[in-house]
Structure 1
Amino acid sequence: MSGQGSGGNVIAALCNIFFPGLGQLVQGRILAALIFAILFFGGAALWFLIVPGIIAAIVYVWAIIDAARYRS
């Protein structure tokens, strides 16, 4: 991937829209992908406690931005 704004980063950001962490996995960052997926799905599973749901929403947006701004 060339860097920020490259086609690969755009594809990775779009992948994160459908499944948080997938964009990081596409970029080859396995640990970051696992962390984003676990934080998002853990928070989403506990949505009824309100705070984990808010954290899940923040992690969701953070994963998209992280994939779009990644520089190798």
Structure 2
Amino acid sequence: MSQGQGSAGNVLAALASLIIPGLGQLLQGRVLWAMFWLFFGCIGFLVTWLITLSLLPFGWFVVSFFSCIHAAVYSPRR
């Protein structure tokens, strides 16, 4: 069974990363990447909240989008 791009596992990981940055990487077993994306999601949240002082800091969503793409294109080495 294929575990590369477009597999069901990668689609689920991408959807999970769209909600919480790094969650998809964690589901794929990539703990360091998961911590990286979660850290930058929190930094993006904090920076955009400090700049805009709004309840909808868009930095979290931008990082989530890139984390989603990163999880979707993952192909494990064999």
TM-score for the superposition, normalised by structure 2? 0.77
Mapped to 2, the partners of 1:27 and 1:18 lie a distance apart of 15
Give the unaligned 5+ runs of structure 1.
none
Larger radius of gyration: 2
Say what the alpha-carbon RMSD is for the aligned residues.
1.8
State percent identity of aligned pairs: 39
Q: CA-to-partner distance for each residue in 1:27-64, whole Å, 9 max, x for gaps?
A: 000000000000011120221336xx676444221100
Give the unaligned 5+ runs of structure 2.
none
Mapped to 2, the partners of 1:11 and 1:29 lie a distance apart of 15
* Matched AA of 1:49: I
TM-score for the superposition, normalised by structure 1? 0.83
Pairs aligned (count) = 70
